[in-house]
Structure 1
Amino acid sequence: MSIKPPNLIVYELNEVPKRVIDHYILHRPYSNISKLYKRGSFIETVTRDSGELHPWSTWPSVHRGVTNDLHDIRFINQDLSCASKYPPIWQVLEKSGISIGIFGSLQSYPPYKGGNVKFYLPDTFSPESKAIPRELELFQRFNLHLAKRNKAVAQGIQKRDITNLSKLIKNNIISISVLLKTSIHMLKEIYDNRNKKRRANIQALISFDVYKKYLIDLEPQYSTFFSNHIASTMHRYWMHSFPEDFGILEDEKIIDKQFNSKSLIKAMDLADFQIGNLLKLQENRGGDLWIISGFGQKAILRNDLQEYELLLEEDSKLLKILQLDYKMYEFIPAMYPDINIECDSEHYVNLLLKNINRLKDINNMPILQLRYKPKQNTVNIIISNVHGLNEAAIIYLDNKEIRIEEAGFKLIKRDSGTGYHSKNGIILFNSDKTEVLKKFVDSKTGYLDICNIFQMTKDHFKIE
């Protein structure tokens, strides 16, 4: 009997901590996650990244086996040449003859080309829809448009979305069953507007359907799938699920407590369904399944919350009011409240940073601030917590009142975030991995254990 080559699927369950795993098992004792927790192996991990934690910085630490102090990846769509000494694990594997299939892992743009690449779909913040094989670009166009339109708050469904969805069905890229589930959810949104808060589940549902098709058809030896729908739910509804963290003992003191706390369970239900699919697949293939969160979340008490926030809707208006030449700047995807801008040269970087300081709120505080040092003329800016916003929607340019629409902004209202990033994450194995548990405390050291699975030596890896 021939020995099957090793294979590994990494399900990237972004930001889910042990607290949420325990909470879910309590509510779903017979779930796939519960079975995996009891029959496989589990450990709580920690990231050694410095500074404020972000998924677009910590996931590269997991993928590259070094902390952000070494790879220096700080924001979405920055130039990644700073990390060239520490390539992501899938590049190392592919060059060593291991077939790979990457689906949505953060900071994976542009598509990596190689003879052992079975499929490669970059993350949902990619600046364009390039993917491998090319037929996946149809899905990526749909995916990127949804991500762009639903920043911070869920927007209405456009005709373009329906057209693209129809093309995906016609080309047999997504299944009829997923279309039905999507349709049912949209009807629920019409019946009860609160269901818009669960829109992220639909994107995760569709994405996994596409991933599973390519995973089964092409059978890569190493594969990743990135899931973000639970992270967004935890950010919004940590207090609804864990009111005791805020000293709240009575449910009636929390608005929509039951609906919003159930949103976390429903988001976990979807992940559990997907994990169940992968468990069955790996049982048949005799392969490994890892569920990794990279890091986690915990309760956060925000003392400076504002009723309204600003969302940049028309970037051309912002450039115009700041007297900046739109030909010298290109806005590229970012996760709200960040704004990423590619500048034509260092001169235009400096001009941008100078002019954004002209916009202030009622307390004379800047509305836009530089978040990280520019990388190769790409600037990462954050929209600040703006004071004094109301329906009048007034801000200040050079101390003169202007309406926010003149600068390309619009007002949004959303649930206050009560969960935020923490260093502790989790990993679940589908088999007994007790021999590696002690060394798997640091979330980035999985890089080396993947080396062991594929029987590669440390010489293949440049890590410190």
Structure 2
Amino acid sequence: MKSDKSIILLEFNELCPSLMQRFIQEGKLPNFQRFYEQSEVYTTDAEEQAPFLEPWIQWVTVHSGLPYSEHQVFLLDEGYKLKAKSIWDIVSEAGLKVWVCGSMNVNYHSPLNGYVMPDFWSTKITPNTAELIPYFRFVQKQVQEHTNDYVPLSRAEYLRFLGFMSSHGLSLQTINAIIQQLIREKITAKYRWQRATIADKLQFDLFCWYYRKLKPQFSTFFINSTAHFQHMYWRNMEPEQFQVKPSATEQREYEKAILFGYQEMDQLIGGFLNLLDNNTTLILSTALSQQPCLTYENIGGKHLYRPRKFEKLLEFAGINSKFVCSPVMAEEFHIRFENNQDATEAEQNLLALQVNQRPMMRLRRTGNDIYGGCGIFDELPNDATLTFVNSGKSIPFFKIFYQIEEIKSGMHHPDGILWIRKPNCQHSVHQEKVSLLAIAPTILELLDVPKADFMKTTALV
């Protein structure tokens, strides 16, 4: 099949319809405003509630056209469990090229006519070409350890990454942004959190380089930085919503953190609009959004704790069997053992950990795989004690764990943004919400590719 049509699906995770309209009306997002005014505008409904309202669930729905009740992918890094074909599989089988750049919780069927780079929390699905491994591994370590003071990367790894990017689209704008970021951190000893937007710029450079090389008919581009800012800094944006108020020092640094994220993404939107030709449809989807997290205000807000080194935690818990541990988001992690028996024994040991005589671990075991994290969310005293009940041994809690600095203040909401900018730039605003299930068949319809039989929802166009 030959086609002169193409689609770029921008997956800007969890941006909020209400905040987008607010910032546009304030004149702070000129590129988003231009995109909006040239698009068919929808609000999507994830049609799920907690605990099934999670981006790693909703993005699988977007990509497959299946609800959670059918695709059954519940955890991050479980995309490999998806049995159905995703949009890129169907487009590839139709003879068209694809370029999947960072999409969350993906699976793909080989051979694929194009390239796939999974999200950076993925350990079981890797890029389908060795060409992308240097980028994928480097950024993966940065993302998985972004809250830790120590990122296990050597000087040689930094140099190899720089070498890779210099031959894969690294722009002068991104180089300048990196330099300015490092200078700002050096002068102020603050703003390390803004590094997430540098990763977005690097990924945009990489996307553009492969986009021009492959000329794909379908491509995706996923980023998560502003979703993270919303989770951490909503309290600073709207302190009047919360019982626990940020300090004056925190406000000086974080009051405009969320706006900063939207404005950084606005610059990327400008780059994408400049990348388009007259045959390309640009789609923005956020899958879901966020709202103020007020659930934990009666305990002083939701505090998150994460192991400094996962190996030290498992050693303290008397776990000697072989395992592979992978950080996920915030306080959560995966531990994979060689067999079910080892995983069962490890689960029992981890459940025997207590902090100040309180059970502390929140775990979910599936076969030889344990997914979990610290289940205590109130603020612990500096002298908190971690005890392994099975042996009676104790150690200062903060010798094994550290507290992620900010108090979580944003939580998920089922509404999402969906803007479809077709080459004719026709604008309309649809008042009724639409299902996430409609996105996959809509993309296939726009590419003149028949939707899969398992997709029950009709296209929006």
Q: What is the TM-score when the length of structure 1 is the normalising length?
A: 0.87
| Correspondence 1:397 to 2:388 | yes
Deviates more, 1:441-450 or 1:425-434: 425-434
Q: Secondary structure, in 3 states, of the residue corresponding to 1:48?
A: coil
Unaligned runs of 5+ in 2: none
| 1:390 counterpart letter in structure 2 | P
Q: CA deviation at 1:299?
A: 0.7
Q: Given the superposition, is the C-alpha separation of residues 256 and 306 from structure 1 closer, same or farther in structure 2, using an over 3 Å criterion?
A: closer
| Correspondence 1:381 to 2:372 | yes
In the alignment, the residues of structure 2 paired with residue 357 and residue 156 of structure 1 have an alpha-carbon distance, to the nearest angstrom, of 28
The alignment covers a number of residue pairs equal to 450
Q: Given the superposition, is the C-alpha separation of residues 49 and 161 from structure 1 closer, same or farther in structure 2, using an over 3 Å criterion?
A: farther
Q: Secondary structure, in 3 states, of the residue corresponding to 1:390?
A: coil
| 1:166 counterpart letter in structure 2 | L
| 2:264 counterpart letter in structure 1 | L
1:407-446 matches, within 5 Å, as: 409-431=400-422, 437=430, 441-446=434-439
In the alignment, the residues of structure 2 paired with residue 313 and residue 294 of structure 1 have an alpha-carbon distance, to the nearest angstrom, of 32
Q: Given the superposition, is the C-alpha separation of residues 423 and 205 from structure 1 closer, same or farther in structure 2, using an over 3 Å criterion?
A: same
Q: Secondary structure, in 3 states, of the residue corresponding to 1:428?
A: strand
2:239 aligned partner: 243
Q: State the Cα deviation string for residues 362-421 of structure 1 (Å, max 9, x = none).
A: 1x3322112x4x344322112112567333342122184622479x72323511121111
In the alignment, the residues of structure 2 paired with residue 176 and residue 428 of structure 1 have an alpha-carbon distance, to the nearest angstrom, of 30
Q: Secondary structure, in 3 states, of the residue corresponding to 2:255?
A: helix
Q: Given the superposition, is the C-alpha separation of residues 164 and 174 from structure 1 closer, same or farther in structure 2, using an over 3 Å criterion?
A: same
Q: Given the superposition, is the C-alpha separation of residues 442 and 152 from structure 1 closer, same or farther in structure 2, using an over 3 Å criterion?
A: farther
Q: Secondary structure, in 3 states, of the residue corresponding to 1:447?
A: helix
Q: CA deviation at 1:427?
A: 1.0
2:331 aligned partner: 337
In the alignment, the residues of structure 1 paired with residue 378 and residue 17 of structure 2 have an alpha-carbon distance, to the nearest angstrom, of 36
In the alignment, the residues of structure 1 paired with residue 199 and residue 150 of structure 2 have an alpha-carbon distance, to the nearest angstrom, of 12
1:45 aligned partner: 44
Provide the alpha-carbon RMSD of the alignment.
3.0
More helix by share: 1
| Correspondence 1:310 to 2:310 | no
In the alignment, the residues of structure 1 paired with residue 111 and residue 207 of structure 2 have an alpha-carbon distance, to the nearest angstrom, of 19
In the alignment, the residues of structure 2 paired with residue 115 and residue 350 of structure 1 have an alpha-carbon distance, to the nearest angstrom, of 37
| Correspondence 1:348 to 2:342 | yes
The structure 2 residue matched to 1:120, chosen from 116, 125, 138, is 116
| Correspondence 1:62 to 2:42 | no
2:11 aligned partner: 12
Q: Given the superposition, is the C-alpha separation of residues 244 and 320 from structure 1 closer, same or farther in structure 2, using an over 3 Å criterion?
A: closer
1:275-294 matches, within 5 Å, as: 275-282=269-276, 284-294=277-287
In the alignment, the residues of structure 2 paired with residue 154 and residue 25 of structure 1 have an alpha-carbon distance, to the nearest angstrom, of 38
Q: Given the superposition, is the C-alpha separation of residues 404 and 105 from structure 1 closer, same or farther in structure 2, using an over 3 Å criterion?
A: farther
In the alignment, the residues of structure 2 paired with residue 10 and residue 62 of structure 1 have an alpha-carbon distance, to the nearest angstrom, of 11
In the alignment, the residues of structure 1 paired with residue 453 and residue 303 of structure 2 have an alpha-carbon distance, to the nearest angstrom, of 51
Q: Given the superposition, is the C-alpha separation of residues 98 and 169 from structure 1 closer, same or farther in structure 2, using an over 3 Å criterion?
A: closer
Q: Secondary structure, in 3 states, of the residue corresponding to 1:417?
A: coil
Q: Secondary structure, in 3 states, of the residue corresponding to 1:194?
A: coil
1:323 aligned partner: 318
Percent identity reads 19
| 1:416 counterpart letter in structure 2 | I
Q: State the Cα deviation string for residues 46-91 of structure 1 (Å, max 9, x = none).
A: 101343222111111111112222211111223733x31x322111
In the alignment, the residues of structure 1 paired with residue 404 and residue 191 of structure 2 have an alpha-carbon distance, to the nearest angstrom, of 16
1:57-456 matches, within 5 Å, as: 57-78=57-78, 80-81=80-81, 83-84=82-83, 86-108=84-106, 112-117=109-114, 119-127=115-123, 130-151=126-147, 159-160=155-156, 162-246=158-242, 255-282=249-276, 284-301=277-294, 302-303=296-297, 304-305=299-300, 309-327=304-322, 329-362=323-356, 364-370=357-363, 372=364, 374-385=365-376, 389-398=380-389, 400=392, 402-404=394-396, 409-431=400-422, 437=430, 441-456=434-449
In the alignment, the residues of structure 2 paired with residue 460 and residue 8 of structure 1 have an alpha-carbon distance, to the nearest angstrom, of 22
Q: What is the TM-score when the length of structure 2 is the normalising length?
A: 0.88
In the alignment, the residues of structure 2 paired with residue 396 and residue 5 of structure 1 have an alpha-carbon distance, to the nearest angstrom, of 63
